[in-house]
Structure 1
């Protein structure tokens, strides 16, 4: 417990000031977190981080992570052309490696790159939208998670996804979403001018994103169970990896893009 607290305090002392300041400093931090997230995928796949496939994977995810105003080389905003190029290189490497690196490996790595790359990409763009927009995303994930945990411990009886995450319950899940709607609803009431939709529409979007946050948590639990690991990484002592700490927000942020918030 002491280790968890120390790690949390140190991480927050780094993350929160950079979140508030924004700009390139925050973008650099987020790009670094996205690359670490990719390394965690590769490690779960039991790929050496200095192997050819890993180096190509890092280049691919960098194309999704790096803000387009940093390097005006690839077209289409977040360098889709570069990402597609490195995907083709990975496919070609299946031939060069004589199928030691297989088509299934390519699929898993590319999916991991999209998950980590675009998730953290939209964290950068949410902050560029405004501090209040990214705080909205974090509030949903934090309150949903905390509410689900606290309410689930008190009244949770019906298992939500026992084969993926045995401790989660329907009661906790519903409680987490209700908590998010109430508390984030107060935030929205005082910050209505920040968001492009009316108050009631934003409450509906909050319900949708709160459910998405819980799916993000379950998705990460599912692939960790698939790979037979307890944590995605060890970079945060007592907390696991970057993907462990940001699993919910990595789904919430792209969903915010789809509903027109970022």
Structure 2
């Protein structure tokens, strides 16, 4: 093995160690739901808004920036009271008061947080819907990493992310399709059509995940920084770790809202994204058993 090959794998132990800490904690919060899930979402959202503000060298002690750091939480509070449309307005419109650069952060981070709340509390499969998208994103990232390091080859977008290759991109899509298809197959009672539908949708979701990853890489390159932070060994910042999930959660939540009603797509795995009537949601500030 050459020194170049050795160095290309040198961050793998750190990645594995980070995953062994992050995944069990996240899985517990997703499964248990309630305030555990909301608390995790709040912590991650605040951490990402801090990193976003730092990327643009915003003064964290400025009162406008300080409000920006907790702005997504205002939208979450509205959503948890069942006011989804006002929550979207808070995230996408009112955030203009922070300026265009911070506004974009509010839309992406706040929009992803609202999407993850919607998928956990407003879909019939609840925790499984969130587990599905997290598993697809992890599979896409992991298989892309392994395939890229193993096969190498032409670069995907060298001007944006020099380390990413076409072999890694294809490997990521195959991994996302297989893992996502397997989850949908399991949830739908072993239907072959469910695996096919789930695999195809997961592959599309894998493309969205890679777009999210590349978008953050492009932003960092334009700003002249390597990582959004250093809090997660082997990954960098929280934004670096969850960049793909941000766009994926928004994409999947949107699909769940526009899917046709009824059971026409159930045999293809569409039931995973079927949503409850909005009127069925009660405010979060009642006993939390409704969110389990």
Structure 1 length-normalised TM: 0.82
The match for 2:8 is none
The match for 1:51 is 62
The match for 2:106 is 113
Secondary structure of 2:140's aligned partner: helix
1:171 Cα deviation after fit? 1.5
| CA shift digits 1:13-59 (9 cap, x unpaired) | 43222122111221121022112111111111111212123023235
| CA shift digits 1:161-181 (9 cap, x unpaired) | 101111111121112111221
Residues 41 and 81 of structure 1: CA distance in aligned 2, closer, same or farther (over 3 Å)? closer
Secondary structure of 2:219's aligned partner: helix
Q: Aligned ranges for residues 180-199 of structure 1 at < 5 Å?
A: 180-192=176-188, 199=195
Secondary structure of 1:234's aligned partner: coil
Q: Aligned ranges for residues 221-236 of structure 1 at < 5 Å?
A: 221-236=217-232
Residues 235 and 64 of structure 1: CA distance in aligned 2, closer, same or farther (over 3 Å)? farther
Secondary structure of 2:226's aligned partner: coil
Q: Which one is further off, 76-85 or 212-221?
A: 76-85
Distance between the aligned counterparts of 2:175 and 2:214, measured in 1? 19
Secondary structure of 1:154's aligned partner: helix
Distance between the aligned counterparts of 1:216 and 1:240, measured in 2? 16
Residues 184 and 194 of structure 2 are in contact (CA less than 8 Å); yes or no, is this contact kept in structure 1? no
Aligned length: 242
1:66 Cα deviation after fit? 3.5
The match for 2:237 is 241
1:145 paired with 2:147, answer no
Distance between the aligned counterparts of 1:110 and 1:6, measured in 2? 34
Secondary structure of 1:78's aligned partner: helix
1:176 paired with 2:176, answer no
| CA shift digits 1:82-102 (9 cap, x unpaired) | 763452x44xxxxxxxxxxxx
Q: Aligned ranges for residues 1-262 of structure 1 at < 5 Å?
A: 7-66=18-77, 68-70=79-81, 76-78=85-87, 80-81=89-90, 84-87=93-96, 89-90=97-98, 106-128=99-121, 129=123, 130-192=126-188, 199-260=195-256, 261=273
Residues 46 and 70 of structure 2 are in contact (CA less than 8 Å); yes or no, is this contact kept in structure 1? no
Q: Which one is further off, 31-40 or 8-17?
A: 8-17
Residues 66 and 121 of structure 1 are in contact (CA less than 8 Å); yes or no, is this contact kept in structure 2? no
Distance between the aligned counterparts of 1:257 and 1:146, measured in 2? 23
Q: Which one is further off, 30-39 or 236-245?
A: 236-245
Residues 181 and 196 of structure 2 are in contact (CA less than 8 Å); yes or no, is this contact kept in structure 1? no
Distance between the aligned counterparts of 1:82 and 1:133, measured in 2? 23
